[in-house]
Amino acid sequence: MMQIKLGFEEWRKLGKEIERIAQSEELELIISMTFGFSGVEGSENEEEEVEEHEHHHHYHITELPKEVFEELNDFMESLKTKYNAKVDHHIHGDHAGVVASVMVNGKDAINVFRNIIDDAKNCENCVLAGVDGEFHLGNDVSVIFFGDSYKLTFILPAPDGRRLIISEVNT
């Protein structure tokens, strides 16, 4: 029970620090998520090249169950709908990457971040294997983060501007 309270407190502190950094400006959250597929069988001999029309990138896709594609598409559409996110992705036979860019105010930044992670963890046919990214204030990187679906590490400037704060949080 104590760890849950400490986890909540760490998220609250982190949210306050990001709000301090943003002041009254908007932040751009750039988040990259890597998904592995659970229970998916495919072989590299079945690989085919597919052109993704929206971004005109080429992806090599091994035959995967339709459910995986549907879940990832639903997740990406929800990012666009809920957060007006710009989304890009790549899908390979054994993993997928989704990158989203979301504009947020400092006060809501950590809640939006956590909601995106929670939505990503709800994939039934895939597993959130890695998360990394940044919060930008204008053209400057203000916060960097990395981790997985269990623990994330955030690195941000201390109020004095001379030191860094390193914060680990459980997801």
Q: Point out the least confidently predicted range of 23-32, 34-43, 53-62, 155-164.
A: 53-62
Query: Does residue 4 have a pLDDT over 90?
Result: no
Query: Does residue 48 have a pLDDT over 80?
Result: no
Q: Where in the sequence is the domain holding 159, given as residue range(s)?
A: 2-170
| Higher per-residue pLDDT: 37 or 34 | 34
Query: Does residue 45 have a pLDDT over 90?
Result: no
Q: Which of 34, 26, 35 is nearest to 112 (CA)?
A: 26
Q: Please tell me the pTM assigned to this model.
A: 0.81
| Structural domains counted in the chain | 1
Q: What is the pLDDT of residue 93?
A: 73
The helix/strand/coil state of 29 is strand
Q: What is the pLDDT of residue 139?
A: 94
Give whole-number Cα distances, 63 to 38, 39, 66, 71, 136, in Å: 14, 13, 9, 15, 37
Residue 35, φ and ψ in degrees, nearest 5: -115, 135
Q: What is the pLDDT of residue 63?
A: 56
